[in-house]
Structure 1
Amino acid sequence: MPISPHCPLISAIKKSNEIMTTFADKISRGPCAGRLQDKVALVTGAGGGQGQIVSLLFAEAGAKVCASDINPATLEQTRALAEQRGLKIDFAMVDASSPEQVNGWIDRVMQKHGRIDVLYNNGAGVHMAPFDQMTFEQWKETIRLELDVIYLPTKAVWPIMSEQKSGSIINIASCAGMLAAEGLGTTAHAAGKGGVIALTRQLSLEGAPHWIRVNCISPGPIMGPALQRPYDESPYFRKLFDSTPSLDRHGYPLDIAYAGLFLASDESTFITGVNLPIDGGATSKVGAMMGRS
């Protein structure tokens, strides 16, 4: 299937010409119209990268998207992309680690829409440093920004979904929560995302009687704004990043977004408690293929 010029991928990836020519038939793609028709979907961390793309894709799929972020500048970028496509998305400045802000946001969504069908917990923050150099403050803040931002929005929508007897909660973890990574300083990040995976399993059990489905996605080597600079500047990092998957490319936000679309849709109503690695096969093998050209 050819990639539509309106596909969110085009605006999210800087090197679109290279991608279109080299991987045109290898990018996650497919029809999305109507797959989330009239579902009310909340997305945190929607200002850039994966959160931005999933917000656009969900809106293209017919969802009533309520997107939040803590950064006004990046949130405005998502707003501009939505307007270019004629997509209607409700935007809100929300610190997902603040109970007051999260609860206020959920109250406003309920006043407007009266229900919440999907919560996509994408927001997070992280400090990367080798363990012997990491400060206790960096550790604490990373754990807060990896776990509190999952706990608080989920806590706020839980009674709503329980009363509805329906809902899909999608948490964004990481392959760092499954495997150790060399040279990236992921100690706190690994602990936080490992916690997200464990929390997902427990919530899936407790949500099952209410038909609340809780799953998580663990992205592998996915190109995004935070990684573009080291990727461009370090040949070693670029080689490691590109050779980690078994498939012959690294990932892009649209790869994650399509997995989220499936888990948010009625196509996955018998799926809960799953941790889904989107990593091109990275977690199914040992080591990176650094010799690959």
Structure 2
Amino acid sequence: MTINDAPGRLAGKRVLITGTAGGQGAAAQRLFTQQGARVIGCDLRPGAAEATAAELRDKGYEAWGHDVDLADPGAAEAWIERGAETLGGIDVLYNNAAGFGFSQFSRMTLELWRHVMRVELDIVFHTTSPAWKHLCERGGSVLNTASYSALRGIGPLGQVAHSAAKGAIVSMSRSLAVEGAEFGVRVNTISPGFVASPSTDAAVDATGRAWQLGNHLLQRPGTGDDVAQLAVYLASDESTWVTGQNFSVDGGATAGWRDDDETQRLVRLYADA
């Protein structure tokens, strides 16, 4: 039996994943292919998505990667249509990719606000809109990535625009679940807490990282695999009665606060920075 003959939880699934060059997207691409899916990824950085896909192909898995600027609706639509043609349809769309932009509201410009909406919210529309007709042909699963910032205020890090965009994704996903139900299309949202990745390394300094970890009951950064394991379930036929839901994978950040000396030290550290 070869790798490609081995059964898996996603055997035969035709999957498109955004942001597969690293972090959560790369982890999802790896786990999805290991579970039998055929995956086409994309990323903004030239050659990056194909590089991660090529590593998987070398191991016998079915993965491909394309360079796509998802903020360009034409480019996003072209990627969706190319993926549907290559795979013979779409069973799963995983909107994982996102840009970022942070500022205290008192200093936020309209340009930054619009940038965040474009790279966090608009890009979900840019892919889901053209994919919708393919998904409705025989049903499928849409996974959208939000954030624990959509569920609780995180003022010190200047996340007003970010939380607004991610909150919109949670609400958008519920409404899409309603519209997709008659066609067998399920739509769910994953809201990670602080996950270690190249993008968070670029966006959050050491002090901000310490403060965020202080918010988590389990005080370690999440990993791409922590999130991708849930994504595998939501993409699989194991979750055929699950739709319109938001799942927090956040080390307990939305459940409550640790009341210990270390947490209070981290809170003071950020306040005094």
- The TM-score range, normalised by the shorter chain, is 0.7 to 0.9
Which stretch of the first structure deviates more once superposed, 96-105 or 251-260? 96-105
Sort the Cα spacing of 1:252 and 1:267 in 2 relative to 1 into closer, same or farther, 3 A: same
Instruction: Give the 3-state SS of the residue equivalent to 1:282 in structure 2.
Output: coil
Question: What's the CA shift for 1:120?
Answer: 0.1
Residue in 2 aligned with 1:199?
172
**Superimposed CA distance per residue, residues 12-32 of structure 1 (whole angstroms, 9 cap, x where no aligned partner):** xxxxxxxxxxxxxxxxxxxx9
Are 1:183 and 2:156 an aligned pair?
A: yes
Are 1:227 and 2:184 an aligned pair?
A: no
Residues 1-293 of structure 1 mapped to structure 2, 5 A cutoff: 34-83=8-57, 85-164=59-138, 166-228=139-201, 234=206, 236-286=207-257, 291-292=262-263
Sort the Cα spacing of 1:272 and 1:211 in 2 relative to 1 into closer, same or farther, 3 A: same
Question: What's the CA shift for 1:39?
Answer: 0.4
Q: Distance in 1 between matches of 2:14 and 2:22?
A: 20
Q: Distance in 2 between matches of 1:288 and 1:109?
A: 49
Question: What's the CA shift for 1:75?
Answer: 2.3
**Superimposed CA distance per residue, residues 110-159 of structure 1 (whole angstroms, 9 cap, x where no aligned partner):** 22222100000011111111112221111101011111111121111111
Q: Distance in 2 between matches of 1:113 and 1:227?
A: 32
Q: Distance in 2 between matches of 1:287 and 1:129?
A: 27
Residue in 2 aligned with 1:20?
none
Q: Distance in 2 between matches of 1:42 and 1:145?
A: 18
- Whether contact under 8 Å (2:157, 2:208) holds in the other structure is no
Instruction: Give the 3-state SS of the residue equivalent to 1:127 in structure 2.
Output: coil
The amino acid across from 2:76 in the alignment is: V
TM-score, normalized by length of structure 1? 0.82
TM-score, normalized by length of structure 2? 0.87
Question: What's the CA shift for 1:38?
Answer: 0.9
Comparing both structures, which one devotes a greater share of its residues to helix?
Answer: 2
Q: Distance in 2 between matches of 1:93 and 1:198?
A: 29
Aligned residues with identical type, % of pairs: 37
Q: Distance in 2 between matches of 1:145 and 1:223?
A: 20
Question: What's the CA shift for 1:82?
Answer: 2.3
Question: What's the CA shift for 1:215?
Answer: 0.1
Question: What's the CA shift for 1:73?
Answer: 4.7
